[in-house]
Amino acid sequence: MVKYFKNKKTNEELRWDSALFRTHSQLLTGRAGKNHWHRINTNSDLAANRYLNRKGEPCSILSNESFIAPENQDTIETKLISIEQDENSLNETLKNIIQIFDLKTENWFHDAIINSISDSNSLSLEIIHSRDNELITSFFEFIDTKITSHTPLSSINGSEIFLIKIWSISPMQSRLIFILSDNSEFQIDFTEFKYIEK
C-alpha cells in the first residue's frame, strides 16, 4: 500500500513506497525492491513533472531523480508480494508474462505510467516505463478478458503502477491485479495475450 505524508510546517507532500517482493522470500529487482520516497510536486498534475528531485526541481516519476532511497534499507515494513502461488505451478501464459517482466522491465512496471487503456473486443494496455535510463513503451493486448474495476477504465489513463500481482486461476485462465499509486486497483482475467515493445 502506498502511504502519503504531509509536513504541516512546510506543506511538503511525500509518498512512501515500501520495498516490494516478487515471491515470499525474494525482493523485486531495481528500485521496486527498495524502500523509497517520492517528493510530490503540488504545482503540477502532468506526468513529466509530477515529482521533485532532492534539490526541489520538477522531474518525472520515470526518472531516477524522483527516486529517493533512505540510507537504511534494513527494515522492510510490509510484504507486498507479486507471486503468492508456487511459481512452478503457474500456467504457461503467466510464465511467459513473468519472463517478459523479468527481461523487459527493471522493476516489473513499478512507477510506470499507464499511457492508455481501452476495452473493445480485447483489452489494450500501453505502459511507459524506464529501462537502463531509457523510456520504453510496452503494448499488451489481452484476449478473452473479464475486467473488474471500481472506476471507469478511461480514468486509469495517466495512472502510475505501484504493484502487479499475478494469479493462475486455472490452466487456461490467468489474472493480473494492478495496484495503482492512489491505492485503487483493477483486475484483468484473460486466456491469452500479445506483447509488443517500441
Q: Tell me the C-alpha distance between 98 and 133, whole Å.
A: 21
Domain assignments of the chain as residue spans, ordered by start = 3-80, 85-197
pLDDT of residue 76: 67
Task: Per residue of the chain (198 residues), give pLDDT as tens.
Answer: 789 999 899 899 999 999 999 999 899 988 899 899 999 998 887 777 889 999 999 998 888 899 998 877 776 667 899 999 999 999 999 999 999 999 999 889 999 999 999 987 789 999 999 888 788 999 999 999 999 998 888 899 999 999 999 999 999 999 999 999 999 999 999 999 999 998
Side-chain-side CA neighbours of residue 162 (13 Å):
23
Helix (H, G, I), strand (E, B) or coil at 123: strand
Residues 6 or more apart in contact with residue 102 via CB below 8 angstroms:
none
Helix (H, G, I), strand (E, B) or coil at 131: strand
CB atoms within 10 A of CB 62: 23
**φ, ψ for residue 23, nearest 5 deg:** -125, -175
